[in-house]
Amino acid sequence: MSLVAPLLQVHAVTKTFAATPVLHGVSFEVAAGEIVCLLGPSGCGKTTLLRIVAGLEQADTGELHLGGQDLTAIPVHQRGFGFMFQDFALFPHRNVADNVAFGLRMAGTDKAAIQRRVAEMLALVGLSGYERRRVQELSGGQQQRVALARSLAPQPRLLLLDEPLGSLDRTLREELLDDLRAILKQAGITALYVTHDQQEAFAVADRVIVMNAGRIEQMGTPAAVYGQPASVFVARFLGMSNLLAGRVTAVSPQVQVATVLGVLHSAQAASSLQRGDAVQVLIRPDAARPAACTPDTPNCLATRLISASFRGSRLKAMLAVGDIPLTFELVGIEAARLPAPGAALTVLLAAEGVALLQAIT
């Protein structure tokens, strides 16, 4: 996080729809120029939170401040934010240029300035020359770019994006993801970005806020969240399924933890851990590699290969120790050396890939 005062402050926001609580006192801050992702499964309240920030919904309780100014009494059209909808919500009765110009016209900008700004924005998103096109004629990716240009044109103080790549197909999404971050950074914009896709969040965000059932589970940089999930929920949501109950048996020189798989060594800093602590042990999917190790080697597991499936640059391997299933992603050359399903396979776990999660939830 930056040292300057945060641009957006969200404090203890709650919201209930028809007696169903959707947000339970959510608080976070966004610094100027920062791209923050709200990441979580559908129904976790992230879109509602975004709509509250935009002013499209009212919070039941809680406060919103932008640059120190209280937003509560400011109606949506006076907040000066940008908003990108999942299916873009381009005005079907206006062409590309008129869509991009809409916010500028509302602000009373003069015609020449509007024209300049529209051209500038379309150049930014790579759609110069598309001014007179009807929006229905555009492809999904082009519509997405027009929507981005439209929300950026009035130079919003804050850009809100609601699953902006959600309705595009996979390859297009990959391609636009890099462009999107580059464009946002180039425009120097502060953005709050909602998605349920961790890859998307990691690729675009400076900071990720993981939400679950109307509460914030974890905040941090993508690397921090991925490297040290704060809870079982976050670990599972990020696709990490190798979770075991354990008890800390040593904290120095290296943290060791007893599990059904035996004692495992972890590279994690001991910090607040103490001997005897009950923990959840996470073995990251990329922690294992096939190796001819013996059971007395630390972190050596004698497993049975259940199945393996080819995923391009990596190989997904389902292993089992006794009846405990483990899922790993094997990279590179090891993949080719796998035995037939059903055969024995010894793997060595990197200590960096063994993480201890404090909370047992």
Residues that bind other proteins (CB under 8 A): 18, 54-56, 76-83, 85, 87, 89-93, 102-103, 106-107, 136, 150-151, 154, 160
Least distance in angstroms from the C-beta of 161 to other proteins? 12
Q: What letter represents residue 227's amino acid?
A: G
Q: Quick one: the chain helix, strand, coil %, rounded to 5?
A: 25, 35, 40
Closest CB to other proteins among residues 99, 198: 99
Least distance in angstroms from the C-beta of 64 to other proteins? 15
Least distance in angstroms from the C-beta of 137 to other proteins? 10
Least distance in angstroms from the C-beta of 89 to other proteins? 4
Closest CB to other proteins among residues 93, 337: 93
Closest CB to other proteins among residues 58, 361: 58
Strand ranges (E), the chain:
8-17, 20-30, 35-39, 61-66, 69-70, 81-84, 158-162, 191-195, 207-212, 215-220, 243-250, 255-259, 262-266, 278-283, 288-290, 300-310, 314-321, 324-331, 344-349, 354-357
Closest CB to other proteins among residues 106, 320: 106
Least distance in angstroms from the C-beta of 286 to other proteins? 39
Which string of b and e fits 1-15 if b means at least 16 CB within 10 Å?
eeeeebbbbbeebbb
Closest CB to other proteins among residues 21, 262: 21
- CB-count burial class (<10 Å; 0-12, 13-18, 19+) for 29: middle
Closest CB to other proteins among residues 79, 173: 79
Least distance in angstroms from the C-beta of 247 to other proteins? 50
Bridge partner list, 277: none
